[in-house]
């Protein structure tokens, strides 16, 4: 609840905040703090807590807001994010208790996978441009547009019932309190970039993250698909007339002509890597029109262009004898380069009347483009037993992810209507993943007895594959919240109620084509890609060139979701000592995902069999005991749900961009029901120091698990299944402490240092029955994605003259199951990653700052192991950044 019972009446709020500021005086609580308390008690309105030190002041402000929450929650504001130096929301959130970051995109809360977290934008559900996940990739949100982040860990009925480990609410820039102008430029480099990278001929607009048409599906191909339904020779011939030698010959000629329409300027070459560059500009102002009316606006734009070399390895195993693993795929030399372009912008305008009414309108634009070129040298099942022969797999993956959200929201308090509060929002959002011209091809390298080598394009009907993907996801979300305060003797009560409507429409299309090289001789196949598939070679009938349309059944699909939700709750404060928040939420959820035939566009199968209907009540209860001016004890119990993603219930084969594993959906998945229990003790001090210790328990009915199933050609294939039962439980602790005053004779310079940290220790259990298509090795084990421990620590420094600040941070998570093993193979575990990051900021003037940052100082690598053998390894390198910021 954003506006809690602690804000029901200005007088009550003043008393409670004043009581909250009364510290348990110890050696650390000085006379200066006592004076501040006296001043606080003498005022009827307290806006914020002022503490010396840039980050300690921020910590005190967020701690005050966290204390007002009715639920177990953690917060992080823009000051804290900027202090640590994180560039996007994903990086920032991993500093919060119990949170870990996967692939710089997805947050795991309390050791649970991203399916158990949800993301809201200013309280609204928004679509995701990632077709493989139900949540928005958090690396898309630059921290420059963020006002604060709220992670709610216990469920409340004013939030969507799709709640597992926790929910993240991203609160963007709002009306400024004063005029603000900030310009920032920066640069950086990664340690892996000391070697040359890879590149190819892209488009003229790559610098702004947009393809200029070079990679897109050629218009001639699109027109041919509309005319013939497929590019296969037989399909074309049937459209030309009765099958005959003449129509087949004509169809083969058309097929070859269409081959020349594809972009074949795809030779991959070496290049030097340029330093990264980023820049941002923010401007906002607030104008007091008179005593009652205020208008304001803020705008921010940012641009980030970066590149990073790739150093990876991949393997896949089978068991042929006992428990020994035998490699079927072994790529120990994977190199390449990923180019990234991010552009973001936000414009927010609003108007306030008499501090009782506020209406804001926001437009947010996010673009995140990744262009990855990769060379994999190694073996598959075809070459792994041939010491003088190996594969050289080239691939290009280009994708544009965009999110555009337009939002109008309002906050109102009607004094004449018993102080009724009304909050509402309407959000229209569009997400798109546009991945044109993804392609891959393989050269086979042979080593002669004298040590010399030759490499030739594989002679195959599948020598080259082009894939064109386009997914669009449109959503509309509206909600209204009503809050009515009541004073009943010793009780301060707030009645709450609301309605939420959400609808989503998604359309996804994929076109896949392959080239036939079997008619080329070995000498020709030793040429470059563009030489082999020149116009002359393609149009030469003797080469036997042909395009095959290999778009699979259900590669195209349409999907829709609708949600109607109602809730009511009571938030009651008794004698400023006990706070009770009780409520229930009803959700009527409808979802359908329909696979389409690529040639006809018709639904494959019975549409009714793809529907998911889920309507239920979800109660929540929270109790807070304000037993001491500095301390409080929270209890929370609730029921919630985690529903399968659209992609997970669509029986379509796709590649997971996080793991590069082949994945296929399973339409018989059902929703998982959760029972959540939380307890937390919190201690807050005026100095900004705080300490909290909590415990949690979650019982999950029919949890959705990632499992390995039978694949083909030695490739790894994973899917999703419902287990029978699961549970996760643990304890977590968090602290922020200034080092000054730790003992009576502590030196004064310790006042300039602080420590902050959190730790989560937990365990989980799951029971899953055997599957018909695979034999799961461990039917009782931990849940997929769960880490038994998560640790975050920070050591900070704020100079006495506020000219210097520095932070050294450390983050690590425990081993977690990537997917369940089958046929005697153990589960695959992602190994701990010890992340050590550092930032140093220098403020030569009040308006100018210089920041130096370093990521992954230990040079750690990410690894997924199976029975001690490397399944996948990646080296993210060490990144160094330097930025200059000017602020009015």
Q: Quote the tokens at residue 365.
A: 């634009």
pLDDT at position 593 over 90: no
Q: Specify the pLDDT at position 185.
A: 95
- Cβ 168 vs Cβ 151: under 8 Å: yes
pLDDT tier, 352 (very low <50, low <70, confident <90, very high otherwise): very high
Neighbours of 747 (CB within 10 A): 8
Two structure tokens written together for 486? 């009541």
User: Taking 60 as the threshold, does the pLDDT of residue 15 lie above it?
Assistant: no
Rounded CA-CA distance 686/887 in Å is 29
Q: What is the pLDDT of residues 241-289, one digit of tens each?
A: 888 999 999 999 999 999 999 999 999 999 999 999 999 898 989 999 9
pLDDT digits (tens, 9 = 90+) for 736-754: 888 877 777 778 788 888 8
The answer to whether residues 156 and 1 touch, using CB atoms and an 8 Å cutoff, is: yes
Model pLDDT, residue 644: 86
- For residue range 97-113, list pLDDT tens digits in order: 656 666 666 667 776 66
Q: Give the contacts of 825 (CB within 8 A, at least 6 positions apart).
A: 317, 318, 319, 325, 708, 777, 866, 867
Instruction: Compute the distance between CA of residue 520 and CA of residue 193 in angstroms, rounded to an integer.
Output: 37
Between the alpha carbon of residue 232 and those of residues 253, 523, 538, 553, 835, the distances in Å are 12, 28, 15, 15, 51
Which CATH code fits 187-195+267-515+552-835+855-871?
2.40.170.20
Average pLDDT score over residue span 750-770: 86
Residue count (the chain): 888
d(CA 96, CA 105): 15
Domain ranges in the chain are 187-195+267-515+552-835+855-871
Count the Cβ atoms, other than its own, within 10 Å of residue 610: 20
Q: Reduce the DSSP state of residue 191 to 3 states and report it.
A: helix
Residue 477 has pLDDT above 90, yes or no: yes
According to the model, what pLDDT value does residue 774 have?
56
pLDDT at 369: 94
Tens of pLDDT, residue by residue over 323-344, are 788 888 999 999 999 999 999 8
Please tell me whether residue 706 adopts helix, strand or coil conformation.
strand
pLDDT value, residue 31: 38
The predicted model gives 147-166 an average pLDDT of 84
pLDDT for 815 equals 92
Please classify residue 194 by burial: count the beta carbons closer than 10 Å to its beta carbon, then call 0-12 exposed, 13-18 middle and 19+ buried.
Answer: exposed
Q: Find residue 679's DSSP bridge partners.
A: 635, 695
Angle between helices 10-20 and 54-68 (to 10 degrees): 130
556-586 b/e (C-beta count within 10 Å ≥ 16 → b): bbbbebebebebbbebbbeeeeebbbebbbe
pLDDT of the residue at 111: 62
How would residue 94 be classed by pLDDT, with cut points 50, 70 and 90?
low
Report the b/e string of 388-408 with b at 16+ CB within 10 A.
Answer: eebbbbbbbbbbbbbbbbebe
User: According to the model, what pLDDT value does residue 750 have?
Assistant: 84
* 792: enclosing H helix or E strand: strand 789-798
Cβ partners under 8 Å of residue 324, min gap 6: none
Task: Single out the residue of 677, 567, 561, 559 nearest to residue 616, CA to CA.
Answer: 567
Q: Exposure of 2 by Cβ count < 10 A (0-12 exposed, 13-18 middle, 19+ buried)?
A: middle
Cα–Cα dist 346/365, whole Å: 6
What φ, ψ does residue 511 adopt, rounded to 5°? -125, 125
pLDDT of 47: 33
- At 150 the pLDDT is 81
671, 726 contact by CB (below 8 A): no
Per cent of the chain over pLDDT 90 is 47
Cβ atoms within 10 Å of 414's Cβ, excluding its own: 13
% the chain with pLDDT above 70:
83
DSSP 215: S
Q: Whole-angstrom Cα distance, residue 66 to residue 45?
A: 18
Contact 788/765 with Cβ under 8 angstroms? no
Confidence of residue 418 (pLDDT cuts 50, 70, 90): very high
Measured between its terminal Cα atoms, the distance across the chain in Å is 34
Those residues with Cβ within 8 angstroms of residue 634's Cβ, 6 or more apart along the chain or in another chain? 71, 72, 154, 622, 623, 624, 625, 678, 679, 680, 681, 682, 694
Task: Output the pLDDT for position 339.
Answer: 96
Residue 563 C-alpha from the chain's centroid: 23
pLDDT of residue 41: 33
Query: For the segment 194-240, what is each residue's pLDDT rounded down to a tens digit?
Result: 889 999 999 999 999 999 999 999 999 999 998 998 899 999 999 99
State the pLDDT confidence band at 42, using cuts at 50, 70 and 90.
Answer: very low
- CA contacts within 13 A on the Cβ side of 409: 22
- Beta 464-488 vs 420-447: how paired, if at all? antiparallel
Residue 143 — pLDDT band, cuts 50, 70, 90? Answer: low
Confidence of residue 61 (pLDDT cuts 50, 70, 90): low
Instruction: State the burial class of residue 663 (Cβ atoms within 10 Å of its Cβ: 0-12, 13-18, 19+).
Output: buried
Average pLDDT value for the chain: 83
Q: Is pLDDT above 50 for 34?
A: no
Parallel/antiparallel/unpaired status of strands 117-121 and 166-172: parallel
Q: Please name which of 873, 884, 871 lies closest in space to residue 315, comparing C-alpha atoms.
A: 871
Q: How does DSSP assign 30-74, residue by residue?
A: -HHHHHHHHHHHT-S-------SSHHHHHHHHHHHHHHH-SS-EE
Average pLDDT over residues 846-860: 91
When pLDDT is cut at 50, 70 and 90, the band that residue 847 belongs to is confident
Angle, to 10 degrees, between the axis of helix 245-259 and the axis of helix 233-240?
120
**Cα–Cα distance, 879 to 859 (Å, whole number):** 9
Residue 44 in this model has a pLDDT that exceeds 50: no
- Examine the pLDDT at 89 and tell me if it is beyond 60: yes
Mean pLDDT computed over 462-469: 93
Q: What is the pLDDT of residues 669-708, one digit of tens each?
A: 889 999 999 999 999 887 778 889 999 999 999 988 877 7
Whether the CB-CB separation of 67 and 684 falls below 8 Å is answered with: yes
Res 163 pLDDT > 80:
yes
Q: What's the confidence (pLDDT) of residue 107?
A: 67
Task: Name the H helices within 658-790.
Answer: none
**Around Cβ 882, how many Cβ atoms within 10 Å?**
15
**How many whole angstroms separate alpha carbon 558 and alpha carbon 87?**
34
Quickly count: other Cβ atoms within 10 Å of residue 676's Cβ: 23
> Mean pLDDT, to the nearest integer, of 18-34?
35
As given in the structure block, the two tokens for residue 570 are 């009571």
Range in 366-375, 612-621, 808-817 the model is least confident about: 808-817
**For 131, phi and psi rounded to 5 degrees?**
-70, -10
Q: Look at residues 81, 86, 279 and name the one whose alpha carbon lies nearest to residue 186.
A: 279
Tell me, what's the pLDDT at 296? Answer: 92
Q: Report the phi/psi class of residue 801: left, alpha or beta, with left for phi > 0 and alpha for psi in -120 to 50.
A: alpha
Q: What are phi and psi of 875, to 5 degrees?
A: -110, 110
- Helix axis angle for 10-20 and 31-41, nearest 10°, is 170
Distance between CA 668 and CA 430 in Å, rounded?
Answer: 28
pLDDT band at 32 (very low <50, low <70, confident <90, very high): very low
Residue 316 has pLDDT above 80, yes or no: yes
Find, among 438, 15, 396, the residue nearest to 217 by Cα: 438
Q: Is 219 helix (H, G, I), strand (E, B) or coil?
A: helix
The pair of three-digit structure tokens given for residue 424, joined into one six-digit string:
């509402």
DSSP secondary structure string for all residues of 425-461: EEEEEEEEEEEEEEEEEEEEEEE-TTS-EEEEE--ST
């Amino acid at each position: 609840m954003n506006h809690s019972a602690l804000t029901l009446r200005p007088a009550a709020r003043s008393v409670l905040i004043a009581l909250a500021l009364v510290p348990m005086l110890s050696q650390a609580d000085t006379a200066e703090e006592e004076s501040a308390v006296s001043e606080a008690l003498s005022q009827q309105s307290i806006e914020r807590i002022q503490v010396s030190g840039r980050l300690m002041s921020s910590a005190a402000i967020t701690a005050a807001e966290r204390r007002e929450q009715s639920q177990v929650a953690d917060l992080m504001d823009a000051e804290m994010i900027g202090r640590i130096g994180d560039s996007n929301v994903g990086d920032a959130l991993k500093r919060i208790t119990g949170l870990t970051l996967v692939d710089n995109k997805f947050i795991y809360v309390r050791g649970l996978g991203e399916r158990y977290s949800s993301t809201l934008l200013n309280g609204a559900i928004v679509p995701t441009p990632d077709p493989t996940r139900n949540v928005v990739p958090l690396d898309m949100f630059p921290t420059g547009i963020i006002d604060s982040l709220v992670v709610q860990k216990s469920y409340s009925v004013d939030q969507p019932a799709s709640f597992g480990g926790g929910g993240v609410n991203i609160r963007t820039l709002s009306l400024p309190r004063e005029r603000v102008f900030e310009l920032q430029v920066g640069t950086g480099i990664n340690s892996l970039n000391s070697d040359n990278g890879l590149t190819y001929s892209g488009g003229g607009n790559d610098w702004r993250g947009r393809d200029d048409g070079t990679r897109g599906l050629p218009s001639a191909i699109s027109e041919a698909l509309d005319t013939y339904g497929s590019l296969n020779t037989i399909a074309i011939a049937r459209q030309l007339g009765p099958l005959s030698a003449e129509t087949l010959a004509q169809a083969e000629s058309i097929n070859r002509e269409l081959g020349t329409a594809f972009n074949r300027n795809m030779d991959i070459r070496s290049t030097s890597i340029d330093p990264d560059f980023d820049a941002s500009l923010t401007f906002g102002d607030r104008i007091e029109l008179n005593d009652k009316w205020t208008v304001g606006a803020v705008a921010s734009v940012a641009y980030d262009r970066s590149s990073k070399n790739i150093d990876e390895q991949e393997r896949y195993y089978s068991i042929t004898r006992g428990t020994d693993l035998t490699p079927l795929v072994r790529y120990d030399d994977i190199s390449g380069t990923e180019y990234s372009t991010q552009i973001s912008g936000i414009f927010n305008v609003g108007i306030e009347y008499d501090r009782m009414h506020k209406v804001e309108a926001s437009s947010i634009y996010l673009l995140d483009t990744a262009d990855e070129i990769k060379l994999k040298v190694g073996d598959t099942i075809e070459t792994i037993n041939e010491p003088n022969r190996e594969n050289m797999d080239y691939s290009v993956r280009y994708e544009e992810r965009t999110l555009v959200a337009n939002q109008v929201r309002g906050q109102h308090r009607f004094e004449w209507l018993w102080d009724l509060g009304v909050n509402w929002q309407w959000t229209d959002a569009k997400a798109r993943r546009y991945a044109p011209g993804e392609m891959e091809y393989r050269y086979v390298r042979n080593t002669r007895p004298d040590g010399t080598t030759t490499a030739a394009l594989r002679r195959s009907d599948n020598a080259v594959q082009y894939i064109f993907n386009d997914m669009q996801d449109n959503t509309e979300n509206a909600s209204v919240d009503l809050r009515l305060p009541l004073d009943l003797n010793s009780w301060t009560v707030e009645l709450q109620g609301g309605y939420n409507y959400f609808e989503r429409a998604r359309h996804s299309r994929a076109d896949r084509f392959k080239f036939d090289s079997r008619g080329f001789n070995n000498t020709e196949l030793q040429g470059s890609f563009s030489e082999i598939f020149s116009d002359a070679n393609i149009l030469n009938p003797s080469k036997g060139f042909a395009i095959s349309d290999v778009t699979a059944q259900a590669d195209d699909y349409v999907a829709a979701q609708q949600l109607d939700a109602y809730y009511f709750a009571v938030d009651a404060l008794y004698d400023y000592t006990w706070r009770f928040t009780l409520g229930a939420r009803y959700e009527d959820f409808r979802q359908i995902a329909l696979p389409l035939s690529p040639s006809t566009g018709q639904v494959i199968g019975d549409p009714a069999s793809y529907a998911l209907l889920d309507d239920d009540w979800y109660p929540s209860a929270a109790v807070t005991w304000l037993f001491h001016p500095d301390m409080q004890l929270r209890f929370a119990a609730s029921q919630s749900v985690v529903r399968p993603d659209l992609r997970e219930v669509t029986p379509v084969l796709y590649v997971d961009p996080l793991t590069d594993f082949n994945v296929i959906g399973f339409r018989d998945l059902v929703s998982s029901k959760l029972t959540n229990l939380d307890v937390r003790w919190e201690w807050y001090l005026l100095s900004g120091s705080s300490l909290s210790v909590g415990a949690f328990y979650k019982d999950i009915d029919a949890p959705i698990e990632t499992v390995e199933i039978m694949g083909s050609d030695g490739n790894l294939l994973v899917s999703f299944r419902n287990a029978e039962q699961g549970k996760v439980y643990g304890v977590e602790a968090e602290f922020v402490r200034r080092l000054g005053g730790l003992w009576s004779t502590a030196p004064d310079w310790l006042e300039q240092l602080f420590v902050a940290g959190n730790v989560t220790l937990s365990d989980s259990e799951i029971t899953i029955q055997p599957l018909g298509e695979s034999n799961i090795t461990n039917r009782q084990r931990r849940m997929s994605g769960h880490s038994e421990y998560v640790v975050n620590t920070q050591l900070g420094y704020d100079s006495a003259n506020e000219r210097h600040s520095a932070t050294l941070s450390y983050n690590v998570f425990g081993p977690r199951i990537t997917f369940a093993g089958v046929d005697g193979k153990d589960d695959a575990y992602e190994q701990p990653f010890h992340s050590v990051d550092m930032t140093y900021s220098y403020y030569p003037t009040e308006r100018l700052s210089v920041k130096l940052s370093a990521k992954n100082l230990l040079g750690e690598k990410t690894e997924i192991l199976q029975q001690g053998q490397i399944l996948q390894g990646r080296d993210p390198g060490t990144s160094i950044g330097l930025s200059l910021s000017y602020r009015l």
